[in-house]
Amino acid sequence: PGVRYEVETAPAECQGTIDSDHSGFSGSGFCNGANAAGSYAQFTVNSETARTATVGIRFANAASAGARPANLVVNGTTVGPVSFETTGAWSNWSTKTATVPLNAGSNTIWLDPTTAAGLPNIDCLDVAAPAA
């Protein structure tokens, strides 16, 4: 199985508040990022080996203004933009997948919102297991 990293569990960071007022999240809450460009959420991911991994970012976005794009930054390198489209309700959670390079050991995976709306609500990050 893969590994789930909850945003409310250190060393993960949320530039905002950990909230629990919209149902359907895993763990004990989700990151309600401050609505500003650069208000990030960050995960620390461990990998036994250097590898390419599929990650799933679980989020909800019911902002009337629509998508809330962010850069996905791994160990300081921007992997690409992720567009977090509306999910219709703050209690409707969806998962965006991306492929990322991981080093052996500790890795930082950073979600850096690029508009003044900030991030959608972020629940957790799932890192797929290495292929058998």
Q: What is the largest CA-CA distance in the chain?
A: 43
Binding mask 53-72 for ligand GCU (x = CB under 6 A): ----------x---------
Nearest residue to the partner ligand GCU, using Cβ: 32
Answer yes or no whether residue 35 interacts with ligand GCU by CB under 6 A: yes
Minimum CB distance to ligand GCU, residue 31 (Å): 9
Q: What is the CA radius of gyration of the chain?
A: 14
d(CA 6, CA 28): 9
Whether the CB-CB separation of 60 and 86 falls below 8 Å is answered with no
d(CA 128, CA 126): 6
Answer yes or no whether residue 121 interacts with ligand GCU by CB under 6 A: yes
DSSP 36: S
Binding mask 74-93 for ligand GCU (x = CB under 6 A): ----------------x---
Contact residues for ligand GCU, defined by CB under 6 A: 19, 22, 32, 35, 63, 90, 121
